[in-house]
């Protein structure tokens, strides 16, 4: 399988995949009348009137803004995984998705001219569930399609030789395990 070696490109790809999932859940929620407004409508409502946010141009504007934020979140997720590793993906995805969703929703709702923002609990709960799914999908896509070299962590102390393999090195068996005998001499296994 082709692995993406650039963190930004991987973040954009993972963010777009996660955002497609989020948009599908949002659209289902909107069609079932659980949510009063779609993400696209709420996002475009920051710049245009509520009536314009429902138009085709308003929906395109909102979609572009929503997918733009999704790619930024994807890039952030890749950097999070680069720093913390590819374990506990469900927890990392859930936290990053809900955090991003809460931040975006608060940011968009803070604009006084945004009359398209939802004010009911069901819509906002639907947004959080959609963002949780976004985070999980984005995290799993980043972990699956990212080259292992993106997840090699730099040593905390460059002056000492590493004695323990990182999880990525252990998976790929790229580095021998260094062990020390009682005299302090290094033995390679």
Place 7 in a pLDDT band, splitting at 50, 70 and 90.
very high
Are 97 and 131 spatial neighbours (Cβ–Cβ below 8 Å)? Answer: yes
Using alpha carbons, list the distances in angstroms from residue 78 to 88, 102, 143. 14, 19, 8
Q: Give residue 59's region: left, alpha or beta (phi > 0; psi -120 to 50).
A: alpha
At 46, the pLDDT band (50, 70, 90 cuts) reads: confident
Q: What is the pLDDT of residues 135-180, one digit of tens each?
A: 999 999 999 999 888 887 665 555 656 666 666 667 776 555 556 5
- Read off the pLDDT of residues 92-108 as tens digits, 9 standing for 90 and up: 999 999 998 888 777 76
Tell me the whole-structure pTM to 2 decimals.
Answer: 0.76
DSSP assigned state of 151? G
- 48 neighbors 40 (Cβ within 8 angstroms): no
Q: What residues have CB less than 8 Å from 70, skipping those under 6 apart?
A: 15, 16, 18, 19, 22, 134, 138
8 A C-beta contact, residue 132 and residue 21 = no
Question: C-alpha angle with apex 170: 85 to 152, nearest 5 degrees?
Answer: 40
In the chain, the percentage of residues whose pLDDT exceeds 90 is: 34
How far lies 7's CA from each of 139, 147, 163, 172, 177, in Å? 13, 9, 27, 20, 28
């Amino acid at each position: 399988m082709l692995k993406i070696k650039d963190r930004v490109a991987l973040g954009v790809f993972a963010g777009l995949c996660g955002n497609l999932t989020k948009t599908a859940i949002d659209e289902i929620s909107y069609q079932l009348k659980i949510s009063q407004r779609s993400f696209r409508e709420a996002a475009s409502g920051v710049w245009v009137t509520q009536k314009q946010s429902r138009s085709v141009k308003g929906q395109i504007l909102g979609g572009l803004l929503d997918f733009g934020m999704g790619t930024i979140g994807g890039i952030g997720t890749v950097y999070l995984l680069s720093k913390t590793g590819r374990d506990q993906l469900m927890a990392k995805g859930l936290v990053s998705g809900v955090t991003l969703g809460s931040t975006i929703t608060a940011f968009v709702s803070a604009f006084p001219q945004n009359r398209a923002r939802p004010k009911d609990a069901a819509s906002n709960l639907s947004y959080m569930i959609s963002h949780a799914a976004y985070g999980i999908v984005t995290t799993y896509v980043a972990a699956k399609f990212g080259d292992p070299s993106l997840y090699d962590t730099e040593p905390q102390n460059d002056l000492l030789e590493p004695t323990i393999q990182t999880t990525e090195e252990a998976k790929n068996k790229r580095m021998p395990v260094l062990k020390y005998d009682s005299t302090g001499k290094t033995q390679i296994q």
